[in-house]
Amino acid sequence: MILEKIYKFYLSSGTIITDSRKINPGSVFFGIGKKNVEGIHNGSHFAREALESGASCVVVNHPEWRGKWSEEEPVFYVEDAEQALQDLAVYHRKQLRIPIIAIAGSNGKTTTKELIQAVLSQKMSCYATEGNLNNHLGLPLSILRIRPTHEIAILEIGANHLGETKFLCELLRPDFGLLTNTGKDHMGEYGSFENIIKANKELYDWFEKEGGKVFVNHRDDLLVECAKQVRDKYFYGEKGDTVAVNVIQEPILEVELIIEEQKEQIKTSLFGAFWKDSLCAAACIGNYFGVSHQQIASALSHYKPQSLRSQWIGWKGNQVLLDCYNANPSSMASLIDAVQSSKPEPKLLVLGEMLELGEFSKSEHIEILEKIDFEKVQNLFLYGEEFRVLEFIHPKAKWFQDKNILKEAIEKWAEQNQGYIYVKGSRSNRLETIFELI
């Protein structure tokens, strides 16, 4: 009954807020957060502020806040505000009658999602995950942002431990699924590459049990094997319904797609041949939902990468590729391959340390450095303690622990060269701040 009452408040505004500083008039505020030293949930501590800022109601944990407000005030007491948020999202999901696509995988989820959104938006009103709202808190918020006007939704599922993808699928109950790939993400949390495979396969396991269709990259033998028990599959890739037959040009990617035997040439703004599969996935899903071949080609050609993911900017007379929203050994290796295949010179490669690798950190950083071909990379700047690998010595490589000193070195290089700077690093490196992007 409490859930239904909260839902009515939600329907009146359509806005759920978990940060009291971002309250809009009419918002529903959930007091979520870890307990502080006094045993009080931090989020609930700001419920009064939320009401004063215009929240239509607040949801706080019982019993620590009972008696703090009068009976007339719109306060709902629950055992666990986080659980209540998830329950509200599930309740809202049950009211929706539109197709929902889940995107999971180790690398490329956000760009793949944006490509699919660009394609599907050619035909229908499409909601897609905003920012990084893809975990146990973010996914419920994403579900609750789906409006009656939307005709289809694409939501990311982000996981860093076994069982999380399964849990998020149970919240979302998707009708369609796409696993981008399986790579070395969150190695420290997962403990092994085998566990990463198991974790990603949880998406396919959910569809095997509950039904629904998955889109599978036929070029990826591991994905094909993991999906073999799913009854309803739609393939893309070399032997699929949508085929990327030829990379015409790289590193700025141009491909030829075959969609039901019709050829479409796509000149993109994406850097690196590794995006070929994401383009193919977007074309495949667009084709399945009836987007015309010409509309698919137009959407993919006009897509511009943003949000520090393969994003190009001009800086001090140089072209800078910012791919520094996140990094793991698989994504970093792919970028290095693309940089080394690019012909424009001079070039500077800036790599920030990779985090969340646990006991694998040293060996993975060494392996990344061993991929560098200094005939193809004129200058290499390394940032962060994890890249302080004594086994690696080369006169063209410089290691930095201080970001300000790194910035000075990059600025000096930029003054002396008119070329290309490629930047890749983990989110906590915040390497974009070097280029005045906050």
Nearest Cα residue to 296 out of 320, 326, 266: 266
* Residue ending a domain, choose from 82, 117, 151: 82
Over range 222-231, report the average pLDDT. Answer: 96
Would you say residue 63 has pLDDT above 70?
Answer: no
Do 279 and 332 reside in the same domain of the chain? no
Would the pLDDT of 406 be above 80? yes
Same-domain check for residues 206 and 59: no
Task: Note down the domain range covering 234.
Answer: 96-302
Whether 396 has a pLDDT exceeding 70, the answer reads: yes
**pLDDT score for 100:** 98
Q: How far is CA 260 from CA 176, 241, 290, 297, in A?
A: 21, 6, 12, 14
Mean pLDDT, to the nearest integer, of 141-156? 97
Which of the residue ranges 98-102, 320-324, 340-344 has the most confident prediction, judged by mean pLDDT?
Answer: 98-102
User: Is the pLDDT higher at 154 or at 20?
Assistant: 154
What are 383-394's pLDDT values in tens digits? Answer: 999 998 766 677
Q: How far is CA 297 from the centre of its chain?
A: 23
317 lies in the same domain as 206: no
Mean of all residue pLDDT scores within the chain? 90
Enumerate residues 6+ apart whose C-beta is below 8 A from 356: 160, 185, 186, 187, 188, 189, 328, 426
Residue 40 has pLDDT above 60, yes or no: no
pLDDT at 41: 47
The number of domains in the chain is 3
Residue 24, pLDDT > 80, answer yes
Dihedral pair phi/psi, residue 386, rounded to 5°: -65, -20
Token match 């939600």: residue? Answer: 10
Nearest to 422 by CA among 342, 356, 368, 366: 342
* CA–CA distance, 302 with 15 (Å, rounded to integer): 31
Nearest to 178 by CA among 251, 119, 123, 259: 119
What are the tens digits of pLDDT across the range 251-308? 889 999 988 888 999 999 999 989 999 999 999 999 999 999 999 999 999 999 988 8
| 397-400 vs 379-383, strand pairing mode | parallel
The pLDDT of residue 239 is: 67
CA–CA gap between residue 53 and residue 37 (Å, rounded) = 26
Whether 58 maps to a domain, the answer reads yes
Please tell me whether residues 195 and 234 are part of one structural domain: yes
Name the token pair of 20: 């009291």
Q: Is 88 contained in some domain?
A: no
Strands (E), 289-337: 311-315, 318-323
User: CATH code at 169?
Assistant: 3.40.1190.10
User: In the structure, what pLDDT confidence band is assigned to residue 187 with cuts at 50, 70 and 90?
Assistant: confident
How far is Cα 166 from Cα 240, in angstroms, rounded to an integer? 27
